[in-house]
């Protein structure tokens, strides 16, 4: 049916058969392009005058044979398997050629021969067949391409006529990356990886090759380790450590914590993180071409714990002491403020890691605790007791102080009494002396007056001791004179003469004064000098 369509078409065109006398061959197209390997059909019709009988029809590629013999392609070994004459004995001369080769590129003619000797015809000019193909890329390096290598891509095409322009395209980039049938890349980089095509420009049009892939291998680089959480990590959080790297082929990732392998894969997940997860982590990216590391530090924060308050003094605290309380704790980051509280009081009593109470008194007794706080939380300590008491030592001191005070007071009183007594005595003696001086003009003061009558009974034994003559002016005799005056003959003053003040002055000049006179041997002569007007003194002082 399909075969007859052109005929129907031709029949519908008026006048085709009207010129009965015309010899002619009509090709649907004078120039046909065929891809190598494809099947091409050349449509053709022919006419001849009536009265002729077709004897032979065939296709040939020779227009002017040497011996006037046109070779029939169906008898050509090159063609006879592939050419098919779609024979119509009347007017159709279409032909089909399968498995087109680039050597098939040629001009072809249809020839027919009639029963009459002059009835021969060749349809010239004929149909030109151009054969082209899909270009093919070949890569210089058959094996692995590593960065730094040099690579040559060659585009080849079996076309006839030959391809007159080659260009190169990478992936879906619209502009070409090169021209010529050879594309050379020296010192290849990873960004040269990708799919390449070449394009040929030909009489038949443009043809693209299949794409080839360049896979440039390279060792890991730009290795980075990162923490999923950008902010702070607190105990109990879940954290992903991610290692990213560029490499071809993809790297195997392994994770280390301070040289100890802890996992593998791009993501190392830690759920319910603890403070002992803190530390240096390293991810190692490794492929066939090398390895590279990246590190990160994990700092797990936690609120204060093991908070305890301690007291500086181990013994009994007594009033007036100074007491220091110290708060200790563990936390990350370090505690930024400590506050001190007294049990059952809502407001704090102090701040700082140590809390000092100076000059303590019993009103400050109680239970104290501290609260340690950092950026992620706070915790209080157990309370410690601060008890203000009394010590026996203090009692003793107090007692001693009291006793001393008492003794001191008594001593002062005694001294006062003595002073008073002395003042009184002196005053009394003076009075007595003055009395005597008044009566007898005596020069002696503080002399005990002895009764004459009673004294006379002991006259024989009267001893004069410690006679201390004193001048009225208060001058005393020098002690040095006393030994000189210890002459036994002059020593015994049995009688003390009354002298007037004037006489006394004279006596001072003529006689020595005596101090500390000791009468060892009382002499009778002492008494012999005693006169009525004389006064006998004993214990003259
Ligand atoms: C030849 O004719 C057939 C149908 O008769 C058509 O399909 C084909 O495309 C034609 N070939 C050319 C080269 O015109
Ligand atoms: C090949 O193509 C390029 C761009 O497509 C053009 O610049 C060049 O002139 C062409 N060469 C030939 C021989 O046609
Ligand atoms: C190229 O095409 C592919 C799909 O064919 C697409 O995935 C890719 O993004 C394209 N690249 C560019 C650079 O347009
Ligand atoms: C960690 O990664 C896993 C997937 O690997 C994801 O499901 C999870 O949500 C991530 N966790 C965090 C904290 O980012
Ligand atoms: C990557 O890991 C796989 C599986 O564990 C192993 O077979 C392969 O040898 C590793 N490659 C390298 C480069 O270490
Ligand atoms: C801190 O407290 C934990 C329990 O909360 C305990 O296991 C640990 O031994 C304590 N550390 C110190 C130094 O007291
Ligand atoms: C801790 O310190 C900050 C600033 O230093 C202060 O505002 C805050 O009140 C303190 N907290 C306590 C409990 O003392
Ligand atoms: C604090 O108050 C509680 C109950 O309110 C009581 O049991 C405790 O004895 C009080 N502590 C002190 C030190 O007063």
Domain segments of the chain as ranges: 5-132, 136-214, 217-298, 302-389, 442-541
How does DSSP classify residue 2? G
Q: Once rounded to an integer, what is the mean pLDDT over residues 373-383?
A: 94
Q: Which residue has its alpha carbon closest to ligand 2 atom 6?
A: 165
Query: 513 CA to middle of ligand 6, Å?
Result: 100
Query: 40 CA to middle of ligand 1, Å?
Result: 9
Ligand 4 atom with minimal separation from the 238 CA: 13
Domain 136-214 in the same topology as domain 5-132: yes
Ligand 5 atom with minimal separation from the 264 CA: 5
**Scanning the structure block, which residue is given the tokens 């407001």?**
347
Ligand 5 atom with minimal separation from the 252 CA: 1
Given ligand 2 and candidates 179, 183, 207, which is best to mutate, with the most ligand atoms within 8 Å of its CB? 179
Please check whether residue 301 is in contact with residue 231, taking contact to mean a CB–CB distance below 8 angstroms.
no
What architecture does CATH give domain 5-132?
Sandwich (2.60)
From the CB of 171, is ligand 3 less than 6 Å away?
A: yes
196, two tokens: 């390449």
Q: Which residue has its alpha carbon closest to ligand 6 atom 2?
A: 306
Q: Which residue has its alpha carbon closest to ligand 7 atom 1?
A: 337
Q: Which ligand is nearest to the CA of 369?
A: 8
Q: Are strands 267-270 and 279-287 parallel, antiparallel or unpaired?
A: unpaired
Neighbours of 113 (CB within 10 A): 17
Please check whether residue 513 is in contact with residue 443, taking contact to mean a CB–CB distance below 8 angstroms.
no
pLDDT per residue as tens digits for the range 478-509:
443 444 444 444 444 433 444 444 444 444 44
What architecture does CATH give domain 217-298?
Sandwich (2.60)
Q: Point out which residues pair with 214 in neighbouring strands.
A: 194
Question: How far apart are alpha carbons 93 and 46 in whole angstroms?
Answer: 7
The confidence band for 220, taking pLDDT boundaries of 50, 70 and 90, is very high
CATH of domain 136-214: 2.60.40.10
Q: Which ligand is nearest to the CA of 287?
A: 5
Please report the pLDDT score of residue 512 as a whole number. Answer: 43
Please report the pLDDT score of residue 216 as a whole number. Answer: 95
Q: Which ligand is nearest to the CA of 181?
A: 2
From the CB of 305, is ligand 6 less than 6 Å away?
A: yes
Q: Once rounded to an integer, what is the mean pLDDT over residues 356-368?
A: 87
Ligand 1 atom with minimal separation from the 40 CA: 13
Residues with CB under 6 A from ligand 1: 5-6, 28-29, 32, 41, 43
The confidence band for 414, taking pLDDT boundaries of 50, 70 and 90, is confident
Highest mean pLDDT among 295-299, 391-395, 513-517: 295-299
Ligand 1 atom with minimal separation from the 9 CA: 5
| Burial classification of residue 140, based on how many CB atoms lie within 10 Å of its CB (0-12 exposed, 13-18 middle, 19 or more buried) | middle
Dihedral angle of Cα 47, 53, 57, 62, to the nearest 10 degrees: -80
Question: How far apart are alpha carbons 522 and 524 in whole angstroms?
Answer: 7
Query: 190 CA to middle of ligand 3, Å?
Result: 17
Question: How far apart are alpha carbons 67 and 403 in whole angstroms?
Answer: 167
- Check whether 122 has a pLDDT greater than 70: yes
Given ligand 1 and candidates 3, 28, 91, 129, which is best to mutate, with the most ligand atoms within 8 Å of its CB? 28
Residues with CB under 6 A from ligand 4: 228, 238, 240, 267, 269
Please name which of 136, 294, 139, 293 lies closest in space to residue 216, comparing C-alpha atoms: 139
Question: How far apart are alpha carbons 254 and 261 in whole angstroms?
Answer: 7
Please determine, looking at this structure, whether the domain spanning 302-389 carries the CATH number 2.60.40.10: yes
Ligand 8 atom with minimal separation from the 343 CA: 13
Query: 238 CA to middle of ligand 3, Å?
Result: 38
Q: Which residue has its alpha carbon closest to ligand 3 atom 8?
A: 172
Please report the pLDDT score of residue 287 as a whole number. Answer: 95
Please report the pLDDT score of residue 400 as a whole number. Answer: 65
Please report the pLDDT score of residue 408 as a whole number. Answer: 78
pLDDT, averaged across the chain: 78
Ligand 7 atom with minimal separation from the 337 CA: 1
Query: 233 CA to middle of ligand 4, Å?
Result: 15
Q: Extract long-range pairs of 436-445: CB within 8 Å, 24+ residues apart.
A: 437/472, 440/498, 440/535, 441/498, 441/499, 441/500, 441/501, 442/496, 442/498, 442/535, 443/469, 443/470, 443/471, 443/472, 443/499, 443/504, 444/469, 444/470, 444/496, 444/537, 444/540, 445/470, 445/472
Question: How far apart are alpha carbons 243 and 259 in whole angstroms?
Answer: 16
From the CB of 297, is ligand 7 less than 6 Å away?
A: no
The confidence band for 65, taking pLDDT boundaries of 50, 70 and 90, is confident
Please report the pLDDT score of residue 190 as a whole number. Answer: 92
Please name which of 40, 13, 39 lies closest in space to residue 26, comparing C-alpha atoms: 13
Q: Which residue has its alpha carbon closest to ligand 8 atom 1?
A: 344
- Check whether 326 has a pLDDT greater than 60: yes
From the CB of 172, is ligand 3 less than 6 Å away?
A: yes
**Scanning the structure block, which residue is given the tokens 């563990």?**
330
DSSP 280-333: EEEEEEEETTEEEEEEEEE-EEEEEEEEEEEES--S-EETT--EEEEEEEEEES
From the CB of 20, is ligand 8 less than 6 Å away?
A: no
pLDDT per residue as tens digits for the range 423-460:
887 777 666 555 554 544 444 434 444 444 444 444 44
């Amino acid at each position: 049916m399909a075969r007859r369509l052109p005929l129907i078409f031709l029949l519908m065109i008026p006048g085709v058969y009207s010129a009965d006398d015309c010899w002619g061959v009509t090709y649907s197209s004078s120039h046909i392009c065929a891809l190598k390997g494809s099947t091409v059909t050349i449509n053709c019709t022919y006419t001849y005058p009536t009265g002729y009988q077709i004897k032979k029809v065939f296709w040939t590629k020779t227009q002017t044979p040497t011996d006037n013999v046109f070779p029939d392609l169906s008898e050509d070994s090159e063609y006879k398997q592939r050419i098919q004459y779609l024979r119509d004995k009347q007017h159709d001369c279409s032909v089909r050629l399968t498995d087109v080769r680039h050597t098939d590129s040629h001009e072809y003619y249809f020839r027919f021969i009639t029963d009459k000797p002059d009835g021969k015809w060749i349809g010239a000019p004929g149909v030109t067949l151009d054969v082209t193909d899909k270009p093919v890329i070949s890569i210089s390096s058959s094996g692995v391409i590593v960065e730094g290598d040099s690579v040559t891509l060659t585009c080849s095409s079996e076309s006839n006529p030959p391809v007159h322009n080659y260009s190169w395209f990478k992936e879906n980039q619209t502009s070409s990356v090169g021209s010529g049938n050879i594309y050379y890349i020296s010192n290849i980089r990873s960004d040269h990886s990708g799919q390449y095509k070449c394009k040929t420009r030909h009489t038949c049009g443009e043809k693209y090759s299949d794409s080839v892939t360049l896979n440039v291998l390279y060792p890991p680089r730009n290795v980075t380790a990162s923490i999923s959480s950008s902010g702070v990590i607190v105990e109990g959080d879940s954290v992903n450590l991610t290692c990213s790297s560029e490499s071809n082929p993809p790297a195997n990732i392994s994770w280390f914590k301070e040289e100890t392998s802890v996992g593998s894969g791009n993501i190392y997940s830690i759920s319910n993180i603890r403070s002992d997860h803190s530390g240096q982590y390293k991810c190692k990216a490794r492929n066939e071409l090398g390895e590279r590391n990246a590190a990160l530090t994990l700092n797990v924060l936690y609120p204060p714990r093991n908070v305890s308050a301690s007291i500086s003094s181990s013994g009994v605290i007594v009033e007036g002491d100074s007491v220091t309380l110290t708060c200790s704790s563990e936390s990350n980051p370090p505690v930024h403020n400590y506050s001190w509280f007294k049990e059952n009081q809502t407001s704090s009593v102090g701040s700082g890691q140590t809390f000092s109470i100076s000059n303590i008194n019993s009103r400050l007794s109680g239970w104290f605790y501290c609260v340690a706080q950092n950026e992620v939380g706070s915790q209080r300590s157990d309370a410690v007791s601060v008890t203000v008491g009394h010590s026996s030592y203090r009692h003793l001191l107090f007692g001693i102080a009291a006793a001393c005070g008492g003794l001191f007071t008594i001593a002062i009183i005694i001294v006062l009494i003595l002073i008073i007594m002395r003042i009184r005595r002196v005053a009394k003696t003076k009075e007595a002396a003055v009395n005597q001086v008044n009566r007898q003009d005596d020069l002696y003061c503080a002399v005990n007056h002895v009764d004459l009558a009673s004294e006379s009974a002991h006259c024989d034994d009267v001893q004069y001791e410690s006679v201390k003559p004193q001048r009225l002016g208060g001058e005393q005799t020098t002690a040095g004179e006393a030994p000189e005056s210890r002459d036994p003959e002059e020593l015994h003053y049995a009688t003390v003469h009354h002298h007037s003040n004037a006489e006394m002055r004279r006596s001072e000049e003529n006689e020595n004064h005596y101090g500390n006179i000791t009468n060892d041997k009382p002499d009778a002569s002492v008494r012999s000098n005693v006169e009525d007007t004389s006064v006998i003194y004993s214990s003259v002082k």
